[in-house]
Structure 1
Amino acid sequence: MSRAVVFAYHNVGVRCLKALIGRGVDVALVVTHQDNPNENIWFQSVAQTARDYGIPAITPDNPNAPDVVEQVKACQADFLFSFYYRHMLKAPLLEAVNRGAYNMHGSLLPKYRGRVPINWAVIHGETETGATLHQMNVKPDSGPVVDQMAVPILPDDSADEVFAKVTVAAEMVLWRSLPGLIAGAAPHVQQDLSQGAYFGGRKPEDGRIDARAGAAQLHNFVRALTLPFPGAFADTRAGRLLLWKTLQAGRTTPAAAAELYLEAGRLWLRAADGGRLAVLQAELAGQALGAENFAALAGGDALPLSL
């Protein structure tokens, strides 16, 4: 029986941990995170999954600390797996197992290496993304690819909807790759890093809307950041605007900057390029915003977004 140490968090962590167990891998130790009380914890718990299966679990602040490395070495594991674990794992950890360390990444590597790849893919209007199992080395998301699976990004998919697809793809990729990995027969294909780029993490303040952007760009931005993420926002004369759901809806006259307006009993966003979005869910100054209260909250017939 193969033995593994698993570093994991989030839904991908839960599903991939269960895939290992389902394939008969002996998971000797799970390393996960303490939930942050300031974060919207909308996803499943790896720590609870480990408890359910009677697997020892730890939540170190620094996974690369010498005592953690020694715990991993003591497991005498064949493999180390990382499934949406948020900290970088350094060389001593990657070398603490006998047959290699592997990571599940939420993109079609070498595209969208780095942080929050699904959100970045939606922001950039991609029509597909996926899950990639690759061998880990010290440079993040650059090791040889074992397997990957694509999923579609539909024009109105939110990042959360795409994440659900990628979670299933990750489980399937791991499930079908494990027999080859255990047998020592899995492919390891070197990445051409020139075919992709590295992206950094995102903070809530990165959700500020560019009022000069075109309608397609605005729509992609909104759906990439909508719930359960912090949201796309703009400041206006009536207070802070949060856009949660939009649909592309033809064209109108261009504007100097994006503006909300009311027409035919519906709320619209006119973009600088003349594209138009139907606004299906929004907040203004902390209140739910719709056609019925737009004039009262906005103080007029149109509400420009601040540049």
Structure 2
Amino acid sequence: MRVVMFGYQTWGHRTLQALLDSEHEVALVVTHPKSEHAYEKIWDDSVADLAEQHGVPVLIRNRPDDEELFARLKEADPDVIVATNWRTWIPERIFNLPRHGTLNVHDSLLPAYAGFSPLIWALINGEKEVGVTAHMMDEVLDAGDIVLQRAVPVGPRDTTTDLFRKTLELFGPITVDGLDLIASGRTDWVKQDRSKASFFHKRSTEDIRIDWSWPAEVLDRLVRAQSAPYPAAFTHHRGKRLEILAARVSEGRYGGTPGRIFYREDDAVVIVAGADARTGRNHGLAVERVRTEDGRELSAADYFTTMGGYLTDRP
């Protein structure tokens, strides 16, 4: 089939490479301009560079809402559009333009975790598996009929970086396999159960600020969710920002006030956690490695030279 691709960053790069390696013809690529936004500088393999290396015409757009773009799309005469990690709304006159519509590839098991940063949110929430969905685009974001889904398990100590690498391997194959199903004449796609849908916003500074009233199990997942190269989860100590780079749930149970710097446990320092920490029934967060406001990385044992005092969410 003749394909136009809307894509961005490493997800789009990997999808485009799979399309170029397939029997389908890539007629045009539309991608976003290079960004200096912190999250968009992560996994930023260039879709434009890859397309140009293979002689595929490229259009750079923040939003696909101008007449020149629409004219170029009609001229390309696609059988189908493929969208992967496209960051802005695609209007109906574009996603319905191709003969077979638009296949969107999203890194969650829809209908759950539509929207932004699904792997991070899923890890924080303790999901047992994550995956990728290829679905037909309609007027509701990430809500169209499902063509294919593929899942991978979440390991007990996986980070978002681990999950990114696992799911990235699915993008190319699910796209090509989805296109093959469309080309075969199949239209019996699976309707999404909207009662099970969830939609997540873009992550920001507030989403990586540690709240010590959360249970240690959730804080452990937050730290792993904000693994490098993502911005690290952070707290404050003596008025200065302190990033938590590595941690685990403590072996022992510790009572008191959330945020208390309390006890050395092996190579870690335990911070009291949980809204009901006063009961003494909670595990704490055993912090293993930190990064100070001036960029120094230290083991928790080297940083916390004495016990006592508190970590807080604000300076």
| TM surpasses 0.5 | yes
Counting only pairs closer than 5 Å after superposition, residues 1-307 of structure 1 correspond to structure 2 as 2-39=1-38, 40-185=41-186, 187-261=188-262, 263=264, 266-270=267-271, 271-272=273-274, 273=277, 274-286=282-294, 287-291=296-300, 293-295=302-304, 300-307=306-313
Task: Write the deviation string for residues 227-255 of structure 1: whole angstroms up to 9, x where unpaired.
Answer: 11112111221511111222223233123
Give the direction of change, closer, same or farther, for the CA distance of 1:86–1:38 in structure 2 (3 Å limit). Answer: closer
Note the C-alpha offset of 1:59.
1.2
Is this contact kept in 2: 1:104–1:133, CA < 8 A? Answer: yes
What SS class does the counterpart of residue 312 from structure 2 fall into? Answer: coil
Specify every segment of 5 or more residues in structure 1 that has no aligned partner in the other structure, as ranges: none
Shift of 1:225: 1.6
2: distance between equivalents of 1:25 and 1:254? 61
| Paired amino acid for 2:258 | A
- Deviation of residue 206 (structure 1)? 2.1
Q: Aligned equivalents of 1:263 and 1:132: distance in 2? A: 44
Change in Cα spacing, 1:183 to 1:62, as seen in structure 2 (3 Å) is same
Q: Secondary structure at the match of 1:293?
A: helix
Deviates most, 153-162 or 269-278:
269-278
- C-alpha deviation, 1:103, in angstroms: 0.4
Change (3 A) 1:295 1:37: same
Distance 2:256 2:174 in 1: 46
* 4+ aligned runs moved over 4 Å, structure 1: none
Distance 1:106 1:74 in 2: 30
Cα RMSD between the aligned structures?
Answer: 1.9
- Provide the identity percentage: 30
What letter is aligned with 1:283? Answer: R
Q: Supply the distance in 2 between the matched residues of 1:140 and 1:97 (Cα, whole angstroms).
A: 18
In structure 2, C-alpha distance between the alignment counterparts of 1:244 and 1:49, rounded to whole Å: 34
